[in-house]
A and B are shown apart, each in its own frame.
Chain A
């Protein structure tokens, strides 16, 4: 069973389009995240959600809108895609802060290519 799953795995689209990436975790974790990894492998946090509430928004352009319909899902919608949005987007989840295990479980990633 996949702990953190993302769809789609690959996404190729034209500049200006709108696209969504979905993420689901079946670990019962309270906290979920979105990260962006660029071509140089820098891994940068975008958003953190805890129990469906936005906790961290790392000055991400408002073209990016996360949505958490429930604790197990965190989706990412991107409007008006730009060339610079091309990257691998990782979803991750972690247990409740203070639970004794603080590591994050990452999904397989979604490789977004904007043409």
Chain B
């Protein structure tokens, strides 16, 4: 079945440093979603990428979908303590009813 590998598993940064998490698949993805889960909280939808090579920005967050639609990345510029949490990539199958979550990257930000 469709699976994604997400790296790194953990990332510790100093506040103000940049952060990137990567999501890789062995198969072509129809789309990919990104979610953020704060400690003790629930996943919150951030964005969906659909097109090959797509780049979307949300303030300090930049999301990319690879040209081959097999990988994706989330980059945070100048991290803040509010960015702390686990970031999940999650491709959805073509029918749209099944979303497979990556293992997540847990981000720690030191003030």
A interface with B by C-beta (< 8 Å) = 31, 33, 35, 41-45, 48, 50, 55-56, 58, 90, 92, 97-98, 102-109
Can you spell out 29 A-B residue pairs with CB atoms less than 8 angstroms apart? A31-B96, A41-B103, A41-B104, A42-B101, A42-B103, A42-B104, A43-B101, A43-B104, A45-B98, A45-B100, A45-B101, A48-B98, A56-B97, A56-B98, A92-B43, A97-B95, A97-B96, A98-B96, A102-B31, A102-B92, A102-B96, A103-B33, A103-B46, A103-B47, A104-B33, A104-B43, A104-B99, A106-B42, A108-B41
Beyond contacts A33-B99, A92-B43, A102-B96: 16 other A-B pairs, Cβ-Cβ < 8 A, are A31-B97, A42-B101, A43-B88, A43-B101, A45-B98, A45-B100, A48-B97, A50-B97, A56-B97, A90-B43, A97-B97, A102-B33, A102-B48, A103-B33, A103-B47, A108-B42
